[in-house]
């Protein structure tokens, strides 16, 4: 069981038993530094200036997401990668995505409704285009999520309450992703595509000039702490919360890494998708650890297996909970 899930269970038990919330004491593990004392250098992603190349693959995604595996993406000739060149002295991060016979052109897809009480998603995209998602910090930091003290129902994230916690609530700290999107783009009918975006090193803003979004997996109600799903902060974060590339490097050095993903988007995007992705997921990858070509990862167990089939499908939700602290 992961550390944050243990913290959730502990906090819920105290809440249910005493009527007030506490946080379990946690001894933080020592953080990696990314610096090799043997080689006398940073093993991955040198500070201040460098280049990161991330091969992209298909088949990755989270529960309830649509995993796009179209014939052009499954072809042996399909290739995709992202190159990130960063230079602190120039205050510049260049993000370049290249697709060779790999990106579906104006794809359409319809799926069941996967909306939650907190986030709306489209059931259908017609003649869609694409966005790239730069997951600058991959669960390397925590944000507070507020729950109702009486019902234990999730209320929202701390970023949505700049004036302070909502009344009659208590916080639980949850590992969080910080995502920033590119502008919408499309490639050629033959599957070739090229996207280049230049960000500021000290302030990585999304296509709307906002600070991206936070995303996390957590219970929607703490009576069912093992029954959880995704939560996105709606509307975009303020500029003051935008990530910088030093945070990206720190996430890599501490062993969390960073990630890249692509999503099929309606164009124009509805306002409810501002600064967050439609969960129809295409090419993606991670750094410094990635999944080799021809291997897929189960989104729930994390187990790896050889790819035996290729086809667009809906990833199942997290399994139902077996643990209920509020009753039978």
Angstrom distance (rounded) from CA 81 to CA 181: 16
Number of domains the chain contains: 1
Query: Is residue 166's pLDDT more than 90?
Result: yes
Tokens representing residue 41 in the block: 């250098």
Which range is least confidently modeled, 9-13, 113-117, 127-131, 201-205?
9-13
Average pLDDT score, the chain: 90
Closest among 56, 32, 31, 36 to 46, alpha carbons compared: 36
Q: Does residue 8 lie in a domain region?
A: no
Residue 184 lies in a domain: yes
User: Among residues 185, 232, 188, which one has the least CA distance to residue 210?
Assistant: 232
Phi-psi region of 178 (alpha: psi -120 to 50; beta: other; left: phi over 0): beta
Residue 152 maps to a domain: yes
Note whether residue 14 is domain-resident. Answer: no
**Tell me, what's the pLDDT at 319?**
83
pLDDT for the residue numbered 10: 40
pLDDT digits (tens, 9 = 90+) for 2-52: 444 444 444 444 444 444 445 556 676 677 888 888 888 888 899 999 999
Asked if the structure places residue 32 within a domain, the reply is no
Residue at token pair 């219970």: 219
Please report whether residue 193 resides in a domain: yes
Q: Are 195 and 219 in contact (CB under 8 A)?
A: no
Task: Render 101-165 in DSSP notation, one character per residue.
Answer: S-S-SS--EE------SS----SEESS-EEEEEEEEEEEEEEEEEEEETTT-BEEEEGGG-TT-P
What percent of the chain has a predicted confidence (pLDDT) above 70?
A: 90
Residue 250 parent element (H or E):
helix 245-253
pLDDT digits over 207-243, tens only?
A: 999 999 999 999 999 988 888 899 999 999 999 999 9
Q: For residue 104, what are the domain limits?
A: 49-314
pLDDT at position 70, please?
97
pLDDT the model gives residue 34: 86
* 263: exposed, middle or buried (Cβ count in 10 Å: 0-12, 13-18, 19+): buried
Q: Which residues pair with 185 in a beta bridge?
A: 130
Token pair belonging to 100: 């060779």
Tell whether 235 is covered by a domain: yes
DSSP assignment of 15-55: HHHHSS-------PPPPP--EETTTTEESSS-SSEEEEEEE
> What token pair was written down for 299?
């989104």
Please state whether the predicted TM-score (pTM) of the whole model is above 0.85: yes
Closest CA to 265 of 107, 96, 113, 61: 107
8 Å CB contact between 227 and 122: no
Point out the least confidently predicted range of 3-7, 77-81, 165-169, 232-236. Answer: 3-7
What is the rounded distance in angstroms from the CA atom of residue 197 to the CA atom of residue 186?
A: 14
42 vs 157, residue with greater confidence = 157
Give, in order, the Cα–Cα distances in Å from 101 to each of 68, 105, 126, 188: 15, 10, 21, 9
Cis peptide before 268 (omega within 30 of 0): yes
């Amino acid at each position: 069981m992961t550390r944050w899930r243990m913290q959730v269970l502990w906090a819920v038990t105290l809440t249910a038993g005493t009527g007030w919330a506490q946080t379990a004491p946690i001894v933080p593990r020592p953080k990696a530094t990314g610096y090799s004392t043997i080689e006398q250098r940073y093993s991955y992603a040198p500070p201040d200036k460098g280049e990161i190349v991330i091969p992209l693959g298909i088949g990755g995604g989270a529960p309830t997401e649509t995993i796009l595996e179209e014939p052009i993406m499954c072809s042996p000739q399909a290739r995709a990668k992202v190159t990130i060149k960063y230079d602190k002295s120039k205050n510049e991060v260049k993000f370049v995505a290249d697709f060779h016979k790999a990106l579906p052109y104006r794809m359409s897809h319809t799926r069941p409704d996967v909306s939650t009480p907190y986030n709306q998603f489209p059931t259908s995209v017609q003649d869609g285009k694409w966005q790239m998602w730069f997951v600058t910090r991959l669960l390397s930091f925590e944000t507070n999520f507020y729950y109702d003290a009486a019902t234990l129902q999730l209320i929202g994230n701390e970023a949505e309450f700049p004036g302070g916690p909502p009344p009659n609530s208590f916080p639980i700290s949850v590992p969080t992703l910080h995502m920033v999107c590119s502008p919408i783009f499309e490639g050629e009918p033959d599957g070739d595509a090229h996207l280049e975006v230049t960000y500021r090193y000290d302030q990585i803003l999304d296509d709307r000039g906002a600070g991206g979004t936070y995303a996390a997996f957590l219970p929607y109600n703490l009576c069912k702490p093992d029954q959880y799903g995704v939560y996105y902060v709606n509307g975009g974060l303020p500029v003051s919360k935008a990530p910088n590339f030093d945070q990206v490097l720190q996430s890599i050095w501490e062993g969390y890494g960073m990630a890249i993903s692509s999503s099929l988007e309606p164009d124009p995007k509805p306002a409810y998708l501002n600064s967050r992705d439609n969960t129809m997921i295409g090419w993606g990858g991670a750094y410094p650890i990635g999944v080799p070509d021809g291997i897929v990862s189960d989104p729930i167990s994390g187990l790896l297996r050889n790819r035996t089939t290729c086809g667009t499908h809906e990833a199942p939700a997290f399994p139902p909970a077996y643990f209920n602290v509020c009753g039978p």
